[in-house]
Structure 1
Amino acid sequence: MELIDCRYDFWFKLDQLVAASNLKIERPKGSLHPRYPSLVYPLDYGYLQDTRSGDGNDIDVWIGSLSSKTVTAVICGVDLEKRDTEIKILLGCTSEESRVILDIHNTGSQSAILLVRK
């Protein structure tokens, strides 16, 4: 079977999804997680309204400090406690911000990888 490089199409479609969605900030930078108060959100965290992720909720989004709020990366994670998988879209995140977010999603029963847009 021949492998086809679909990376451009993947990122382009994510851009389209983000552009066509209302972004809602649920937890501003510096706020505490409602169930895990030791987790302080290092960046704004929210979701794309009227979308669906692997957990049945809206697609989660981290918003970084870059002025351009384009899709810079995606976190793909698995949570054994919840018994689910899902993605988190990173918008306008620097390399350092992406690393901090990845570390958050690699704790406890969670494990994640970071796909960075080239």
Structure 2
Amino acid sequence: MFNHKKVTVKIDRPLGTFHPEHKDLYYPINYGYIEGLIAEDGEEQDAYVLGVNKPVETFSGVLIAIIHRIDDVEDKWVVVPDNMHFSISEIEEKVNFQEKYFQHTIDIFD
């Protein structure tokens, strides 16, 4: 259903910035949300953008994986440029700055 779905991410925490409330949480990747798509937590669906090595305001790409948080109500989507692939271990490495605080699994789409 979601396999390689094209989505646009509105970036509210660009690469190189810090979390607005947790000042020690640095974002080494772009992070944002899918406008108009409401997630389990009642907020717009959060997404990590991988494969873009500069801060951006928006990004259109493909959904390649979903991070399911076991001890939280929200999942995180992983969005990348067309024709770019990441393994589960590569995704884990890129999102560890934030996901290390949660038990989670990663479903990757082949």
TM-score class, shorter: 0.7 to 0.9
Structure 1 stretches (4+) deviating beyond 4 angstroms? none
1:6 aligned partner: none
1:88 pairs, out of 76, 90, 96, with 76
Contact 1:75 1:102 survives alignment (8 Å): no
Count residues in correspondence: 97
Hey, which of these two has a bigger chunk of strand by percent? Answer: 2
Aligned to 2:50: 64
The within-5 A match list for 1:1-118 is 9-11=1-3, 15=5, 18=7, 22-65=8-51, 69-79=61-71, 84-92=72-80, 94-95=86-87, 97-99=90-92, 100-102=94-96, 104-107=98-101, 110-118=102-110
TM-score (norm 2): 0.73
Any idea what the Cα deviations from partners look like across 1:25-68, whole Å, max 9, x if unmatched?
101001001121111111110101111111100000111116x8
| Structure with a larger share of its residues in helix | 1
Letter in 2 for 1:104: Q
Aligned equivalents of 2:37, 2:44: Cα separation in 1: 5
Q: Does structure 1 conserve the Cα–Cα contact (< 8 Å) formed by 2:64 and 2:78?
A: yes
Determine if contact 1:77/1:113 at 8 Å carries over to the other structure: yes
Normalising by structure 1, we get a TM-score of: 0.69
User: Does the 8 Å CA contact 1:64/1:97 hold for their aligned counterparts?
Assistant: no
Which runs of 5 or more residues in structure 1 are unaligned? 1-8
State the distance in 2 between where 1:103 and 1:88 align: 14
Q: How far, CA to CA, are the matches of 1:48 and 1:10 in structure 2? A: 14
- Larger Rg over CA atoms: 1
Of the two structures, which has the highest relative contact order with CA contacts closer than 8 Å and spacing of 6 or more? 2
With over 3 angstroms needed to count, the CA separation of the structure-2 counterparts of 1:103 and 1:42, relative to structure 1, is: closer
